[in-house]
Structure 1
Amino acid sequence: MASVSDSPNPIVLGCGAASVDYLATVASFPNPDDKIRSLALKVQGGGNTGNALTAAARLGLRPRIISKVADDAQGRNVLKELQNDGVDTSYMLVAEDGNSPFTYIIVDNQTKTRTCIHTPGYPPLWPEELTKDNLSAALEGADIVYFDGRFHDTALVVAQEASQRKIPILIDAEKKREGLDKLLNFASYVVCSAKFPQAWTGTSSIPVALVSMLSRLPKIKFVIVTLGEKGCLMLERSMIDASEAEEIHIDALLESLQKKVDQGSTIPNCITSKGNVRISADGVGSISGTLLLGTAEVIPPDELIDTTGAGDAFIGAVLYGLCTSMPPERMLPFASQVAACSCRGLGARSSLPHRTDPRLKRY
């Protein structure tokens, strides 16, 4: 996979959510009308873009962010925390009135799940607030642009300009959002949650949905779906047409990869199909590509603290992998390892690793 950057310290521009998370750990999720006490409480920065860019910064990229907060205590803390991690906040908008976005997160110590209650910021970020000069400066020298689907009208303006400049675009498709369909037409890469592919395509399974996404979005080079403790799947489009090759159904191809998984391994690995095969799916058609199955780290129960932001950490690592020419078979385990590190602390950012972390040495 070709690098998107020739720079020793590549620049990634992110457009999307930056907010405050109020994280309360509880022994177990409360029943209606219960009164319980938290076991631990932490207040820290959140938001998909804020988290992913923080992960990218700690790995060695130079992130810039387009977002909006209010001139309140929460907003000032959002800016300070991002700046302390090396994220350039010069292109963030600050509203004199209103409120910064924030999320209450209940972390269930029993099930290791988290429940989020989000309050959007007000007023929202409008496209006209992003001047042409600011947009041009934000994109200047950028090696890749990342969107989380928030502020869709503004995101579309940024994506159109980035596309004209031939800057690659990665989109986090967490769920169906207003304006996401238009944004996906500009995507070079897509990373999505387990629920998104079928919800967006209406197909019978995740593997079939991946074939459908690459068929419907011809500009996309690859799509990754994250599956939590089950790892991830990646379907990469071949640059060489394999229309003359024998077709193999994606379900059969995935089954063959699953048989090769080392069940005794606790560290992330990647199993890949032969390159440039013709992969078919019922009712969808076929594409020339490669299927990759990434496994997740098996985290000991006593080390698993909180999964908040694990997907954002994964995306931050994918951004790093793209900018540093990591081949997919190394990028997927690397991203899974970064995500696993993030699950060992409370909140999305507490345990995000730096590139010098010994756990990342093998990559």
Structure 2
Amino acid sequence: MARVVFVGVATADAIAVVDHHPTPDERIIADDLVHSGGGPAATAAVTAARLGLPVELVCTVGDDAQGRGIASDLAAEGVGLRHLRVDPDLRTPASVVLSSRRETARAICTLPVPPLQLQPEARAAVLKADWVHVDHLGWPAVAELLADVPPAKRPRLSVDDGNPTPSLCRPADVQLYVPTVARLTDRFPDTTGSVPESGAPAGTSPVTAHEAALLAAPGAERVVATDGARGSIGRDSDGSLHRADAVPVDVVSTLGAGDVFHGALLTAVVRGLPLPRAMAFAGEAAARSCRAVDGRSAIPSRHELTAPCGEVKESE
């Protein structure tokens, strides 16, 4: 089995569903209020575990009720927690989320999270892994650890570039780079539309010239950019371009959908699926996760998905 380690942040989230985002001093009644685990790396790890991939998570929580709740929920999902660190001096990362039905958008207020410090056992786990997935908190720590490691001896890297990651100036030596389209545009503003349109799998929209140019992110072996309701676009290691259209569902909330996409995409890639099929698999998993208020409870198992993945043998 492939050794897959997720590195980053785990949070305790309180999510309120409201008709609209309140104005200053306005008091509104919530349609629903849910408490759930969150965090990009943690939710991606939960997704991979629910889809049948054995995973470990490297993160830090405080010695408080929220931290214990996070650990309990992750353990119940089958996420390996040998490298979850309890820091008595840290307040567990937490967020308050307002999900607006009218604006179909969300506002997030989160506590500051200090830089992640990799303990010796976690450093060893990262170095021995076949794949390491990092979010904005995990990237600086992992990048520093691998800086002096020869490329041939590094684990393969999957990078979630959805949240701002200032130190990620160039995704060099990254095997799977997954930003949002907006983040990709910000990072590479000088790309042009000089690349001709490509073909796309049957039943999907073609990749436009502008999208193709954006996918020329230097240093990354594969690039998949998420594009919300438009699905995702991707560039494979051989330069081929792909689009996976979004799967229509009755959306309750999109909270955590990007994190679910990352976990499902990496699961499919680890199992050896071609990139177009991996993108379709991840897109369906992310779409189905939008059926609940929180970003976790509606994450599907692989048996619920129509995009094939379970039939592929897992990497040895």
Summarize the alignment of residues 5-24 of structure 1 with structure 2, pairs less than 5 Å apart: 7=1, 10-24=2-16
1:305 equivalent to 2:252? Answer yes
- Assess if the C-alpha contact under 8 Å between 1:45 and 1:78 holds in 2: yes
Residues paired across the two proteins, number: 293
TM-score normalised to the size of structure 2?
0.85
1:177 equivalent to 2:165? Answer yes
Structure 2: gaps spanning 5 or more residues: 194-207, 310-316
CA distance in 2, matches of 1:138, 1:168: 10
For 2:218, the equivalent position in structure 1 comes to: 216
**How far is the alpha carbon of 1:352 from its aligned partner?**
0.3
**How far is the alpha carbon of 1:135 from its aligned partner?**
1.7
For 1:148, the equivalent position in structure 2 comes to: 135
Indicate how the Cα distance of structure 1 residues 68 and 212 shifts in structure 2: closer, same or farther if over 3 A, else same: same
Indicate how the Cα distance of structure 1 residues 356 and 158 shifts in structure 2: closer, same or farther if over 3 A, else same: farther
Indicate how the Cα distance of structure 1 residues 86 and 139 shifts in structure 2: closer, same or farther if over 3 A, else same: farther
CA distance in 2, matches of 1:224, 1:207: 16
CA distance in 2, matches of 1:94, 1:179: 26
> Which of 244, 258, 268 does residue 294 from structure 1 map onto?
244
> Which of 202, 208, 225 does residue 189 from structure 2 map onto?
202
> Which of 290, 293, 302 does residue 346 from structure 1 map onto?
293
Q: Which letter does structure 1 place at the counterpart of 2:116? A: L
For 2:89, the equivalent position in structure 1 comes to: 97
**How far is the alpha carbon of 1:185 from its aligned partner?**
2.0
For 1:165, the equivalent position in structure 2 comes to: 153
CA distance in 2, matches of 1:162, 1:355: 36
For 1:281, the equivalent position in structure 2 comes to: none
Write the deviation string for residues 169-192 of structure 1: whole angstroms up to 9, x where unpaired: 11011144232226x223111011
CA distance in 1, matches of 2:276, 2:80: 31
For 2:116, the equivalent position in structure 1 comes to: 125
For 2:123, the equivalent position in structure 1 comes to: 135
**How far is the alpha carbon of 1:17 from its aligned partner?**
1.0
- Assess if the C-alpha contact under 8 Å between 1:188 and 1:221 holds in 2: yes
For 1:278, the equivalent position in structure 2 comes to: none
CA distance in 1, matches of 2:40, 2:110: 12
Q: Which letter does structure 2 place at the counterpart of 1:341? A: R
For 2:312, the equivalent position in structure 1 comes to: none
- Assess if the C-alpha contact under 8 Å between 1:68 and 1:95 holds in 2: yes
**How far is the alpha carbon of 1:202 from its aligned partner?**
1.4
Write the deviation string for residues 70-109 of structure 1: whole angstroms up to 9, x where unpaired: 1011111111111111111111221112301111110112
SS in 1 for 2:278: helix
TM-score normalised to the size of structure 1?
0.75
For 2:35, the equivalent position in structure 1 comes to: 43
For 2:227, the equivalent position in structure 1 comes to: 227
SS in 1 for 2:86: strand
Instruction: Provide the identity percentage.
Output: 26
For 1:280, the equivalent position in structure 2 comes to: none
- Assess if the C-alpha contact under 8 Å between 2:212 and 2:241 holds in 1: no
> Which of 189, 193, 203 does residue 176 from structure 2 map onto?
189
- Assess if the C-alpha contact under 8 Å between 2:133 and 2:157 holds in 1: yes
CA distance in 2, matches of 1:35, 1:166: 52
Write the deviation string for residues 248-270 of structure 1: whole angstroms up to 9, x where unpaired: xxxxxxxxxxxxxxxxxxxxxxx
**How far is the alpha carbon of 1:331 from its aligned partner?**
1.2
Q: Which letter does structure 2 place at the counterpart of 1:173? A: D
Indicate how the Cα distance of structure 1 residues 210 and 100 shifts in structure 2: closer, same or farther if over 3 A, else same: farther
**How far is the alpha carbon of 1:210 from its aligned partner?**
5.6
Indicate how the Cα distance of structure 1 residues 291 and 84 shifts in structure 2: closer, same or farther if over 3 A, else same: same
- Assess if the C-alpha contact under 8 Å between 1:194 and 1:225 holds in 2: yes
- Assess if the C-alpha contact under 8 Å between 2:234 and 2:241 holds in 1: yes
CA distance in 2, matches of 1:173, 1:333: 19
Indicate how the Cα distance of structure 1 residues 108 and 231 shifts in structure 2: closer, same or farther if over 3 A, else same: same
Q: Which letter does structure 2 place at the counterpart of 1:360? A: T
Structure 1: gaps spanning 5 or more residues: 1-6, 239-288
1:360 equivalent to 2:306? Answer yes
